Amino acid sequence: MEKKDVKIINQGLEDEMEVWGYRPCPWKMVLVAVGAVCTGGLLFLVLYWLPEWGVRGTCTRTPFIRESQTLLLRSTDEFRRWFRAKVHVMLAPGKRPFDGVDLLSPLHIPNGDSIHSFSALQDELQGKYIHIQPVQVCYFTHHSTKYYWNDLLQNFEVFKGLEDVRVTCSSIHTDHSSGLSKLLQDYRRLFFEVNEIAVKVPSVFKLLIKEVLNPFYIFQLFSVILWSIEQYYYYAAAIVFMSVISIATSLYTVKKQYIMLHDMVATHSIVRVSVCRGTLDVKEAMSTELVPGDVIVIPSNGMIMPCDAVLVHGNCIVNESMLTGESVPVTKTSLPSSGEDGAGVYSIEEHKRHTLFCGTHIIQTRFYTGELVKAVVVRTGFSTEKGQLVRSILYPKPTDFKLYRDAYLFLLCLVGVAGIGFIYTIVLSIINQVPAKTIVVESLDIITITVPPALPAAMTAGIVYAQRRLKRVGIFCISPQRINICGQLNLVCFDKTGTLTEDGLDLWGIQRVENGSFSPPEDDPANETLVRSSFVSCMATCHSLTKLEGELSGDPMDLKMFNATGWILEEPTEEETALHNPIMPTVVRPPKQVLPEVNQEVNLAQNMELSELTLSYEIGIVRQFPFSSALQRMSVVVRKLGEKRMDAYLKGAPEVVASLCAEDTIPESFTETLEFYTRQGFRVIALAHRQLEAKLSWHKVQNLNRDLIETNMEFLGLIIMQNKLKEETSGVLKDLRRANIRTVMVTGDNMLTAISVARDCGMITPHERVIVADATPPKDTQPATINWHYTENHATSKDNRVESVEISLDDVGHEAYGEQHKQQEQGYHFAMSGRSFAVITEHFPDLVQKLALHATIFARMAPDQKTQLVEVLQSVDYTVGMCGDGANDCGALKRAHSGISLSELEASVASPFTSSIANISCVPNLIREGRAALITSFCVFKFMALYSIIQYLSVTLLYSILSNLGDFQFLFIDVAIILIIAFTMSLNPAWKVLVAQRPPSSLISGPLLFSVLTQILTCLAFQILAFLWVRGQNWYEKWTPLSDACNVSSTNLTHGPNITSHVDHKNIRNYENTTLFYVSSFQYLAVAIIFSKGKPFRQPSYKNWPFMLSCMALYIFLFMIMLYPVPAIDNFLEIVCVPHEWRITVVIIVLVNAAVSFLLETLVLDIILWKLVFSRDKQGGSDGMAVTSATLTPQSANERWCTAFLSWLFCRKGKTPRVRYMQVAQELLEDPDWPPKPATVTYTTSTPHHTVSM
């Protein structure tokens, strides 16, 4: 398709799309209508399934998209999906939602105070602006988002909200804090529509039509019509019954999901709000009427936010668990209005601490007397954070898994086979002068036989069973198709705090600074001698705790820190606040019992005076600067009771706090002391203090920029927190390591702490080195650099062998790499910070993939960097899992192939899997079930493919004598054998342990193709053998109702002649039919048992008692009717009586058939080819697997020789690995300069990077 008239919308974003414009073409539409009539509506269905064909077939391209009436959209991601959209036109006073302000500015509406009705504006327009005419605005809607045409850009754009006009923080206070007039609100609503995240639950009829128009059900409808014409009513009825159950189940599931999502979104989504209409006018309105620019009043008792809004007056305490997954109250402060912060452009991402998000719960507000807590609406509807989350659920990306792509290719191969049978049937029928109607029916019938109608239902069964088993172990799934993908995970990223370690931190101790150096560590900050110290005052004030229903609530670390002081926090009541002009501060004070001991000899008056003085020691928190993950710190401004000066206290990451302190206050041993604690896995927080100038008043502090306060501080010391590993962590990581599943830590914590935790939990063994990549961005004329530092090992190894290898070339479970590789690698891991990660991805793109192979620790990572890391790992073909507690992990959980949330809060909606057990033991459980489900899918698919081919072979052979299988024979095979076996063979539970071997991911692979093809050839050979053998028997004759083959030779059984008054027009009853029916029935059971494999991914089939009972019952029944025929059953199945000797012969044929099939699958495939040929292909050939001859035993030497011969025979030797990370691993094996040497620096220049020794 030509690019000259294509437009790109959402450029650079996840939902980027290409757009082409079209106009209806009458003559094309007439041709399509005629074609639809001629094809019985089939053409309409094809155009419905393929929207690009539908648009091109009925419209002509227009070079000017502005003039188009229909748009053709194509996503630019790897799926390249097509969509169709209709262009609409509306009349509006302006072309952009914020043009209205300029339009109405001559009418003197300062901040929307003057005009409150359309009529007033219309009257004035008639007098002064009669020339203003409504303009046409073109737009289209796609995935609940409206795109409007922009004449300047000559492209479509999305209006998100107030951010579109790039307002500064100060201008929000000056220009947008008084509210909108009703007129402006109505005008903007033309563009932003109703403020509602509308999840419409489709009617059952709509869902039914959408489901029924699925290509599979259309094919089933075609099959049922064809079978009805052939009078195969029973089989057609069985297929209709199955389809109805399948459709009903699907409709119920989809409807239930829509209702659940609707209920989740609808809860409190429509509320009454107070809207400001000018400076003084406050009116009640429905939240659906809100538009960006409106000013709403936040009630003191809180509310559920119906939109995204930025605070301009007052403070709020908010529970954001709906978005972050962390049920911890967060303090939101008003947007800065002056200084450098005030001059900055407002951004939701950068100003999160001042923004109230849709769906979050405002718990309480803090306000000034006479002033309301106000917020300016910035986004509404689906543009809000909650709306974006709901959109991602309503319109998810397709699951990109090789199994499903290969399944379609395999079905196309079956269609090709059906085409051969179709042509064969037509030619054979013409030669035998069969009537035209019969030719058409039978040739089409061969197609319905080849493509199994029960395939999708059978494939889904294994996933459904796995989902139920996961539910029993506390893992809930909202995306069942991803269970199969879990079976292919070979890398799992873990958050640290709350995931690998306990959620809470325990205070280990404090280390204060006295006279410029560290004092000895102390374990009790509540010691009475420290009550008045700046260190304890900082611990007691520098936090964001609040009281909810009398209980302290807030960040768990803040709680631990504050409780360790023993102090008391008191918040003002609403009545107390109303009595004062300024906002009443939160007050902290030491408990009454913590008083300095008074000498009993001191007189009572002195004692009472000292007690009163101590009791009056209180500190009021005047202003908070909340913790920022970007700044890695928080601070407060406080005033002690009775003092005029205010103080500032700061806490945060030690490196950050030290950079904000005066150098003479930082101890010389700061770096060594910090490393001492972080190497042992402690979480270290630094404190600082500064006395502010006396001239700073209460109100001035409220408007100060935090940068002016957080500077030239006095370093107070360190708080050492202990973050204990969860009991299950080490064991789970050991299991994953043993299974060759790579593990990566992604945390916001300190680098050395993360390295220590990684060593403690076994993610890094004592023998392995850690290389820290410390990257710095370019500055002035200096290029970007990477400094490589080697950390000290906790233990040294006597030999060079490493317990495991990070880059697993051993995807199918053999020893990785070999000794030569181990000696070269010697076990190393890269560690880097979020800052270094950003520099490397931007300035060293050619190193990203190399580092991705061995990088195990990512510290100080921001939420968006976690998502970016998942994408980097996926770019080298890792199948990535992400496990987090929901806090700051939502993006990575959504982006990973398999996201596992340990939080049961609403944020788990962003994750495909949610564990009710808050530890990582869910990860191996999920991978085991995923592997079992994946193998089950392969087994079922292979079985269903063999079923269709076996039946195809039987019918093709019978067509050669103008015969066919009978209606009840089809019914017995498809229902009694196939459906029962297909649904019970999926019941095997997962194997009890994770093994190093990984299941295959592709149907189009050597082992699976060999398996299917050998079984097809085996079945074909034995069917042809039986077909020809029966025709060569001396008793054989063309069967008639009077034939009496049973009594031709003496047997122990006596039968009457086949006397029937029924005339068999379809020639169903004959010896060939009966023989092939017996043989094929046993073939179905044989391949089912052979394909239903157990260890190492599933429990053995003998533990699947429904499957075993079904197989045994069917075997008994088939042997019974074959060796001891029952006339009633024979008559029902339309099989004829044959001599007993022939029945024994058929038994021998089916037993030999089963034995050959078993030997081919088990001995040849599983033992010889799988272990010696295909597994080595997975490892990337034998070149990188060299083992010295000195280490070879005779057995391994023979195996190696055999392997080499078979690899040569199957052309596998030296084959390049297909996945990218294996290719990079092989390249690194040949790179003598990798890994970088200790104490070296890598520079980026216009030429390739070069590394020099420091």
Question: Looking at this protein, which amino acid is placed at residue 600?
Answer: Q
Euclidean distance between CA atoms 449 and 950, whole angstroms: 10
Euclidean distance between CA atoms 771 and 958, whole angstroms: 70
Q: By the 8 A CB rule, do 1053 and 1110 touch?
A: no
Euclidean distance between CA atoms 400 and 911, whole angstroms: 17
Euclidean distance between CA atoms 285 and 307, whole angstroms: 14
Report how far apart the first and last C-alpha atoms of the chain are (Å, whole number): 54
Q: Is 275 helix (H, G, I), strand (E, B) or coil?
A: strand
Please state whether 566 falls in left (phi above 0), alpha (psi between -120 and 50) or beta.
Answer: left
Q: By the 8 A CB rule, do 559 and 577 touch?
A: no
- The enclosing H or E element of 249 equals helix 233-266
Among residues 557, 568, 567, which one has the least CA distance to residue 652? 557
- The enclosing H or E element of 589 equals strand 586-589
Q: Which active-site residues does the annotation give?
A: 495
Strand order in the sheet with 568-570: 517-518, 506-514, 714-722, 682-691, 647-652, 633-640, 619-628, 586-589, 568-570
Q: By the 8 A CB rule, do 875 and 1220 touch?
A: yes
- Which is it for the CA torsion 930, 934, 936, 937, positive or negative? positive
Count other C-beta atoms under 10 Å from residue 608's C-beta. Answer: 11
Q: Pairing between strand 1240-1243 and 785-790? A: antiparallel
Euclidean distance between CA atoms 1246 and 625, whole angstroms: 42
CA distances for 682 relative to 508, 675, 728, 760, 887, angstroms? 8, 10, 20, 12, 21
CA 1241-1245-1251 angle, to 5 degrees, is 25
Q: By the 8 A CB rule, do 762 and 792 touch?
A: no
Residues in the chain, total = 1254
- The enclosing H or E element of 18 equals strand 17-24
Residue with tokens 């051993």: 810
Strand order in the sheet with 361-366: 303-304, 361-366, 315-319, 329-332
Burial grade of 318 (CB within 10 A; 0-12, 13-18, 19 or more): buried
Tell me the sheet residues that pair with 1243. 785, 1250
Question: Looking at this protein, which amino acid is placed at residue 984?
Answer: T
Among residues 638, 630, 678, which one has the least CA distance to residue 654? 678
Q: By the 8 A CB rule, do 255 and 201 touch?
A: yes
- The token duo for 1060 is 């029937």
Among residues 939, 896, 1096, 915, which one has the least CA distance to residue 489? 896
Euclidean distance between CA atoms 977 and 653, whole angstroms: 66
List CB contacts of 934: < 8 A, sequence separation 6 or more. 403, 484, 487, 488, 999, 1001, 1097
Diameter over CA atoms, the chain? 132
